[in-house]
A and B are shown apart, each in its own frame.
Chain A
Amino acid sequence: DAGVTQSPTHLIKTRGQQVTLRCSPKSGHDTVSWYQQALGQGPQFIFQYYEEEERQRGNFPDRFSGHQFPNYSSELNVNALLLGDSALYLCASSLSGLSRGYTFGSGTRLTVV
C-alpha cells in the first residue's frame, strides 16, 4: 500500500517564477494538507483540502494557492516566488474526521535563487 507520494523531490526556481507541487494521498484518505518547513523549523500549516475545496488556511499570502482533484490528489501553486519561499514542502493526507492517522510524504525541496 503506497503512502503519500510527492513530486518533484527537488526543484530550483528563480525569483518571480511560479511553481506547482503535486501530492498523491495514501489510499483511502480523502483530505490533504500542505505544510511549509523552513530549515531548522517545524512545519507550518498552509492550507487543507477536502471535497475539492479549501477548508482551512494558515497565515500564508494569496500567492499560495491549491487544488484538489476528484481522485483526492492535490497541487500546491506558488506565484511570484521569493527567496524566503525556499523550504521543504510537505503534504499530509488523512481521512476526514478527527482521526489520528496523518501520513506525510517525503516532501519537495524548493530552492529559490
Chain B
Amino acid sequence: GQNIDQPTEMTATEGAIVQINCTYQTSGFNGLFWYQQHAGEAPTFLSYNVLDGLEEKGRFSSFLSRSKGYSYLLLKELQMKDSASYLCAVRDRVRGSTLGRLYFGRGTQLTVWP
C-alpha cells in the first residue's frame, strides 16, 4: 500500500520562505510530484523528483531523499497568490507496465498573510 503524510495547514507572511514536508511509504517508487491547487481549480504541476537531491525552478525548489522516504517543497519570496493547497504525490510502477499511477497526500493548505 501507499502512505503519504504532509501537514494539513501552514501559514506564512509575504516575502518569507516556507518549507512543506512530505513523508511517504510506498512500493515500486517511480517519482515524486508536487502540485499546487487553488480552490475549485485543477492541480497544476510544480516539480518532479525521481533521483535524490534538489531541483530548483524559480521561486520553487523540491528535495528528495529516497532512502528516508522524504521530500520537501521550498517556496521563496512568498506572494499572496501562493495561498493554495500543495499536494505531494508519489508514482508507483506496476510490474510489466510502463504506466504508473499517482498516490496523493491530503494536501497542505498554505495561507500567505500580508
**Residues of A bordering B, CB below 8 Å:** 3-4, 31, 33, 35, 40-45, 48, 50, 55-56, 58, 90, 92, 96-98, 100-107, 109
Binding site of B, secondary structure by majority: helix, strand, loop or mixed?
loop
The reply to whether B48 and A50 form a contact with Cβ atoms under 8 Å apart is: no
- Would A42 and B99 count as touching, CB distance under 8 A? no
Which of B30, B42, B87, B104 is most buried by chain A, counting CB atoms within 10 A of its CB? B42
Interface residues on B, range: 20 to 34
A104 pairs with B42, CB closer than 8 A: yes
Q: Which residues of B contact A3 (CB under 8 A)?
A: 42
Cβ of A90: which chain B residues have Cβ within 8 Å of it?
42-43
- Judge whether B106 and A40 touch: CB under 8 Å: yes
Please list 25 pairs of residues, one from A and one from B, whose beta carbons are closer than 8 Å in the complex, sorted by A's number: A33-B101, A35-B104, A40-B106, A40-B107, A42-B4, A42-B89, A43-B87, A45-B102, A45-B103, A48-B101, A50-B99, A55-B99, A56-B99, A90-B42, A96-B98, A97-B99, A98-B30, A98-B93, A98-B98, A100-B33, A100-B45, A102-B45, A104-B35, A105-B42, A107-B42
